[in-house]
Chain A
Amino acid sequence: MSQAKVLLVDDEVEFGFALVERLRLKHYDVKAVSQVEDALAAVRNDPPDVVLLDFMMPGMDGIEILKLIKQIDPSIEVIMLTGHADTRIVEEVMKSGASEYIMKPADLGEVIIKIDNAKKKRNSVK
């Protein structure tokens, strides 16, 4: 199984740069965007296997973006990233179709496991 193709959506640019580089070092095909529009364009034009989506994006919350992504391609697995520790939000996120969530700050190992699981899940669905 080839490495998953990952789209990172986070307005925290320095976070995105570092995570992208680390994932690349692990040979993931990773792209990062910090704007909602760029994220949706990427999903449409170059669909990833897994989207790492920050819950709090300026102007639109993560759940809405999640729904939009699922509208474009329901097979894309979305892992929510959140700085919140509120379990109610986690419930809502999972109900809205996210496959996983990751609390910031996260251990890279956890991130990789969750990406891989999502990729497996996507493959199995395919």
Chain B
Amino acid sequence: MNLDVPSMKDTCEVFNEQIKEYRQIVEDRDRELENISIEMAIGLSEVFGSLKSISSGDPLVRIPEISNIELIHKLKHLVNLTAQNIEEIVELSHEFAIGLAEHFDVLHRVSAGDLHARVSGESHVELLESLKRVTNKMIMSISKEIDIRKQTEAALQKAHDKLEHRVEERTIELRILNEKLWTEIVERKRVGEELREAELRYRTVADFTYDWEYWETPDGTLRYVSPSCERITGFTPKDFIDNPNLIFEIIISEDHSILDKHRNDAIKVLSPQSIMFRIIRKDGKMRWMEHVCQAVIGNQGEFLGVRASNRDITIRKQAEEKLSNTLSLLSATLESTADGILVVDREGKIASFNQKFLQMWHIPESVIASKDDRKVIDFVLEQLKDPETFLTKVTELYASDEAESFDTVEFKDKRIFERFSQPQKLGNTVVGRVWSFRDITKRKRAEDALRESEQLLLQAHKMEAIGRLAAGVAHEINNPLAVINENAGLMKDLLELSENIEQNKEKFLGTLDVIFESVNRCRTITHRLLGFARRTDISYAVIDVNDAVREVIGFLEKEILYRNIHLKLNLKEDLPSVVSDRGQLQQVLLNIINNAIDVVEKGGLIEIFTDIKDENAIRVSVRDNGHGIPEDIIKHIFEPFFTTKEKGKGTGLGLSISYGIMRKMGGIILVESKDGNGTTFIIEIPQKGGTD
């Protein structure tokens, strides 16, 4: 081997040339391989596309059979052949289906009655042709058979029609007969029912009568007795029918004559006759019967007996008896009352009056006999002091139905009547007017006398109170008067002793001051007294209760002081004022405080409280620690003339007057006391006004 470079170089070159050539070959082979695989892929995809079309029902697909690859060429050929075979099979089955469809159509038409229908389609399918022959032959034989049956049926129909006609004729005949019979039956049934109904109706009427009904025949037997006899008498209809005399037997003996007389009368007259008698029931109880009977006369005028009805009128009889009792009671009451009573109806007719009324008004029989209220009024008018007012009132009351009135009537002869009038009602209807007169002359006079003596008593009490006050006042005034007297006397004495006024000037001035001061004391006392005395008439004003209490204490404080009595005032501040009569209120306070002063021992205690009782009243309490009031006395202390003071020391009117005053004010006076434990008087003063 040549190992020099040039040779090596040459060798290399050749080597490279060689490689180049091989590479070219390899590349060409690669390209050739690539082309084949592409052609194969295309060919296969065509084959698969064709197969897909065939399987989805398209046998008409064909693919070009050209290909460089043998395998692909054969595959394509096979696919095309398969498609061709399948196309032929599809075409055959199509023709078979059409032929069968014609068969089905023809058979359907035959079954629907079209015997002329035939399978006519030509086909090269052998099976179809032979089927066509069998089908057509069968249709023809059926058609023939049907024709024969139709002829038979026509003959039969004819015979039947004839028969039917004859039946119809007979049927009509029968129906006419039948109807006649039915009419007869209905008529008979109707008559029967009517009879039964009539019977039921009359029996129902008779049996269910509330009253006890019966029919007595001329021979005395009973033809009918209603079941109600049992409720009324306790005996059954059978009892009466079996014993026609039972009716007479149960009537109480006192009433037999009534029935006897009635029987005689009933024969003579045909109109209904009514009597009343009593029976004794089977159970022994008495019942009142109202019996009505009438003769029964037949169509030919023959006497068929007596039809009678007995009604149980016991309750009515009892009510009548009660009513008559009530009436007698009322009339006795009316006559025995001390009042004169007159009842006038709405037409001005006198409906009722009592003897007392006639006596009181001096009404003669001749006037009352007219029953005319107008005449009675005319008669009485001249007896009255004020006839016009009387007449006006009467007219007014007659004009207003519902009005009630109460007043007094004065007579010229000094009598006084109370007149009360109210409507007389029947249910809600005014049917008249009741006048009631009461002679109150004596009562009036007694009342007047009483009022007069009350006035006198009040006066007496007032005098007592004034006397007591006067004694206190005299003392209170006499003392300052004595001061004035002595001081004025002293001045006079001094002047008499010495003419030198200058020497005694200072003394004189001092003495004069004392005099003026005493005069003032007197003036205060007289003013207070006047103020109290002036309030004698009732006059309501706004009053401060505490002030009123203080003023009363003012009158009494000297006495309280001298008697060494402790006085404690517990007057509530800001006490609401009251509307009341100051004078009367103070009279009450004076009475109860005076009593307290009288009962406490020397050195005793009197406490006066004021407070609010509630929103309506103020309360004043006067409490002493005296010996108290025993139980048997306390209940009398408000009675007039009741006194525990010794004779001449009290009228016994103080507390009774106080009670009266407080009542009149709408207030109240109370006492609480325990024997040996002091007494509390409480007055409650209404905040607003009095009752009159």
- Beyond A83-B474, A83-B475, A84-B474, whether A25 also contacts B562 by CB under 8 A is no
Asked whether B485 lies within 8 Å of A85 as measured between CB atoms, the reply is: no
Interface residues of B in 466-491 (CB under 8 A from A): 471, 474-479, 481-487, 489-490
Chain A interface residue count: which class?
20 to 34
Given known pairs A83-B476, A104-B478, A106-B485, the reply for A18 and B490 (CB within 8 Å) is yes
Q: Hey, which chain B residues are within 8 Å of A25, CB to CB?
A: 490, 493-494, 497
By a CB distance below 8 angstroms, the chain B residues around A74 are none
Most chain A CB within a 10 A radius of its CB, from B475, B483, B497: B483
Query: Is there an interface contact between B482 and A106, defined as CB atoms closer than 8 Å?
Result: yes
B 60-74 contacts with A by CB, 8 A:
none
Mask, A71-103, CB within 8 Å of B = 1, is: 000000000011111100000000000000001
Cβ-defined partner of A84 (8 Å) among B475, B485, B490, B497 = B475
Given known pairs A104-B479, A105-B482, A106-B482, the reply for A60 and B564 (CB within 8 Å) is: yes
In the complex, what distance in Å separates the CA atom of A13 from the CA atom of B412?
A: 71
In angstroms, Cα B489 to Cα A22, docked, is 8
User: Beyond A18-B487, A108-B489, is A83–B562 a contact (Cβ under 8 Å)?
Assistant: no
* Contact of A42 with B by CB under 8 A: no
Inter-chain contact B483/A15, CB cutoff 8 Å: yes
Distance in angstroms between the alpha carbons of A104 and B484 in the assembled complex: 11
Q: A22 and B490 in contact (CB under 8 A), knowing A14-B518, A15-B483, A60-B564?
A: yes
Q: Is the CB of A18 within 8 A of B474?
A: no
Nearest-neighbor residue (CB-CB) of B475 within chain A: A83
Complex contact B489–A18 (CB within 8 A): yes
Contact A85 B487 (CB under 8 A): no
Interface residues of A, dominant DSSP: mixed
CB-CB under 8 A from A81, the residues of chain B are 482
Consensus secondary structure, chain B interface: helix
Given that A83-B476, A84-B475 are known contacts, is A105 also in contact with B564, CB under 8 Å in the complex?
no
Residues from chain B with a CB closer than 8 A to the CB of A86 are 471
Decide yes or no whether B591 CB sits under 8 A from chain A.
Answer: no
B497 / chain A contacts, CB cutoff of 8 Å: 25
Query: Are the C-beta atoms of B490 and A12 separated by less than 8 Å?
Result: no
**B117 at interface (Cβ–Cβ under 8 A)?**
no
Contacts of A84 in B (CB 8 A): 471, 474-475, 478
Interface presence of A61 (CB below 8 A): yes
Contacts of B354 in A (CB 8 A): none
Which chain B residues lie closer than 8 Å to A106 at the CB level? Answer: 482, 485
Kindly provide the distance from the CB of A79 to the nearest chain B CB, expressed in whole angstroms. Answer: 14
Residue B206 at the A interface, CB < 8 A? no
Q: Chain A, 38-51, contact with B by CB distance < 8 Å: what is the 0/1 string? A: 00000000000000
Q: Residues of A contacting B490 with CB < 8 Å?
A: 18, 21-22, 25
Nearest to A26 among chain B residues (CB) is B493
- Of the listed residues B475, B494, B497, B563, the one surrounded by the most CB atoms of chain A closer than 10 A to its CB is B475
Which chain A residue shows the least CB distance to B562?
A56
Partner of A56, one of B475, B483, B493, B517: B475
**B479, A15: Cβ atoms closer than 8 Å:** yes
CA distance A84 to B471 in the complex (A): 6
Pairwise interchain contact B485-A105, C-beta atoms closer than 8 A: yes
Which residues 549-575 in B have Cβ within 8 Å of A in the complex? 558, 561-564
B516-542 vs A, Cβ < 8 Å mask (1 yes, 0 no) = 011000000000000000000000000
Bound-state Cα–Cα, A120 to B482, Å? 26
A56 to B474 Cα, complex, angstroms: 13
Contact call B482/A61, Cβ cutoff below 8 A:
no
Contacts of B294 in A (CB 8 A): none
Does B511 have its Cβ within 8 Å of any Cβ on chain A?
Answer: yes
Contact with A along B589-612 (1 / 0, CB 8 A): 000000000000010000000000
CA A21 to CA B475, docked complex, whole Å: 23
Docked Cα-Cα span, A18 to B487, in Å, equals 5
A19 x B486 contact (CB < 8 A): yes
Contact between A105 and B471, CB atoms less than 8 A apart: no
Q: How far is the CA of A34 from the CA of B479 in the complex (A)?
A: 14
Q: Which residues of chain A come closer than 8 Å to B487, judged between CB atoms?
A: 14, 18
- Which A residues are CB-close (under 8 A) to B511? 18
> Contact at B479–A83, with CB atoms within 8 Å?
yes
Given contacts A57-B562, A61-B563, contact A15 B486 (CB under 8 A): yes
Question: Nearest Cβ distance between residue B1 and chain A, in whole angstroms?
Answer: 187
Residue numbers of B with Cβ under 8 A of A are: 471, 474-479, 481-487, 489-490, 493-494, 497, 511, 514, 517-518, 558, 561-564, 602
Q: 10 tightest A-B contacts by CB?
A: A83-B478, A18-B486, A105-B485, A104-B482, A83-B475, A105-B482, A59-B564, A105-B481, A18-B487, A56-B562
19 A-B pairs (CB sep. < 8 Å):
A12-B482, A14-B483, A14-B517, A18-B487, A18-B489, A18-B490, A21-B490, A25-B493, A25-B494, A56-B558, A59-B564, A83-B474, A85-B471, A85-B478, A103-B478, A105-B481, A105-B485, A105-B486, A108-B489
